[in-house]
Each structure stands twice: as C-alpha cells, then as structure tokens.
Amino acid sequence: MKIFGERVKSVLKENGKTQKELAAALCVRTSTLCEWLNDHNEPPMQVIVDIALALDVSTDYLLGVKDYD
C-alpha cells in the first residue's frame, strides 16, 4: 500500500495538520502512524476508514482506487 502513506502525508500537508495531530485523533502512537505512512506496516481496515473520516477524503482516494477525491 505504498500509495496510502504518500496520500495521507499529502493530505495532512494540504490541510496544515501534523502526523502527531492525526495520531492523537486516531488514539494511536505517533510511531505507529509513522510505520503505516512509511509502509513498514499496514493499518487495520477500520483505521483506514477512521483516517479517511479524519482527513475528509474517501478511502478509495487513500488506497489509490481513485486519483481525485
């Protein structure tokens, strides 16, 4: 899911949010989020949904199914 991490980082930057803020919103450690964003580990399906909701984008966009949200 290499595209996932890149897209989450991009949306965070566009929205002026930090990884620390997203981790707090998801109730996970920043190090755990970093593992997901750097493709060292994959988040559970529900967390992908939670990330999409927190960033106001679709899961299809985050997973690379759609190019635009």
Residue 29 contacts residue 23 (beta carbons within 8 Å): yes
Q: What percent of the chain has pLDDT over 90?
A: 90
Which among 36, 30, 27 has a CA at the least distance from the CA of 18? 30
Express each pLDDT in 19-36 by its tens digit.
999 999 999 999 999 999
State the pLDDT at residue 67.
85
Length of the chain measured in residues: 69
- Helix 19-26 × helix 45-55 angle, to 10°: 120
Residue of higher predicted confidence among 51 and 68: 51
Where do the DSSP E strands lie in 1-69? none
State the pLDDT at residue 69.
60
CA 64 – CA 1 distance, rounded (Å): 8
- Identify the DSSP state of 21: H
Q: Which CATH architecture has domain 2-63?
A: Orthogonal Bundle (1.10)
Considering the chain, what is the average pLDDT of its residues? 95
